[in-house]
Amino acid sequence: MSRIANTLSQLKAHGRQALIPYVTAGFPFADVTPELMHAMVKAGSDIIELGVPFSDPMADGPVIQKAGEKALTFGIGMTQVLDMVRTFRQTDTTTPVVLMGYANPVERYDIKHGQPGQSSAFARDAAAAGVDGVLIVDYPPEECEQFAATLKANGLDLIFLLAPTSTPERMDLVGRLASGYVYYVSLKGVTGSGALDIASVAEALPRIRQHVSVPVGVGFGIRDAATAQAIGKVADDLVTSDQERAEMELKAYEAETTRMGLQTEINKEEAKNTNLFVSGARPFVMWVCAFALAYAAVLEPIARFVAQVWFGYAGAFPVIDTDLTLQVLFGILGLGAYRSVEKIKGVANK
């Protein structure tokens, strides 16, 4: 018996529905997901649904889309998501974890990490990391019987979506292939859209159970405690996300992005002004150096005479070659000034 099936069986024996919260991997920060998962368990989560970020999520509403976009900017992909599950499993070996995502990251992982003649690298590595189930939104049951068999061979449950528009034939096929539980999309649309019609959900679930033997979880539209309590009276499991927290995180992220954009423009303008200053200062410094050297040449006879007279009166110092001394001195000054200008210009151009 899988970890998912065992958890749902124990909850049913105690007269409870499973609470299955969703969180996007890598949101709001790249390294915080394992800690969030542990916090979700402490808060009462029975199964964790971990979203794999993807650039074209057809089933996700604007909040989850933006959360995924932010995670992608952190470089979060399937490899990083599996690492997060592996980290979570170091201290939690009982809470089931379901990956929810799309076909592209799974197939790309197989291409990148697979070997000719071997089964799915994704299924192998997901099972090794501690994943218990997989929900691929754009894998219809008609097209993934082999994928279902591969997951089953690796001890993973394949979870399917059913919708208000699903036909009896589609429900039969899902009932034959699905394991763990079935995810019923409670409304027509993407996540977070529209108001949940409790009566319609209550009417649909008995029809689904005629075709499906595994528990039926209800999601899409469960965004607060009130809707969760209402759905809990008719569903086997509840799939939900903290919409309010996610919206707050996204607003903070957008505000920070705006601030960083403005700061970037300010930095560009400052660099531009510095460049203009350096462009004007460079010939000035070169002319000063040239004037200093010419001035030294004019003063050389006077400087030699003063030095000889001065040291002659002292009687204890040798006569200094003033010509060589002045040339070295002004040469060092000129080289230092030129290098300083070049350094300033290099910083300004970064």
Residue positions annotated with a catalytic role: 49, 60
User: Quick one: 4 exposed, middle or buried, by C-beta within 10 A (0-12, 13-18, 19+)?
Assistant: buried
Alpha helices, DSSP H, located in the chain = 3-13, 33-42, 62-73, 78-89, 103-113, 121-129, 145-153, 168-177, 198-209, 225-232, 243-314, 322-348
User: Which DSSP state fits 319?
Assistant: P
- 8 A C-beta contact, residue 98 and residue 133: yes
Pairing of strands 133-136, 157-158: parallel
Close Cβ partners of 290 (under 8 Å, ≥ 6 residues apart): none
DSSP states of 47-108 as a string?
SEEEEPP-SS-TT--HHHHHHHHHHHHTT--HHHHHHHHHHHHTT-SSS-EEEEE-HHHHHH
- 8 A C-beta contact, residue 149 and residue 118: no
Pairing of strands 216-219, 48-51: unpaired
d(CA 16, CA 279) in angstroms, rounded, equals 74
The Cβ of residue 266 has, within 10 Å, a number of other Cβ atoms equal to 10
Residue 6 tokens read as: 């065992």
Q: Among candidates 174, 94, 190, 193, which has minimal Cα distance to 135?
A: 174
Q: For residue 134, give the H/E element and its range.
A: strand 133-136
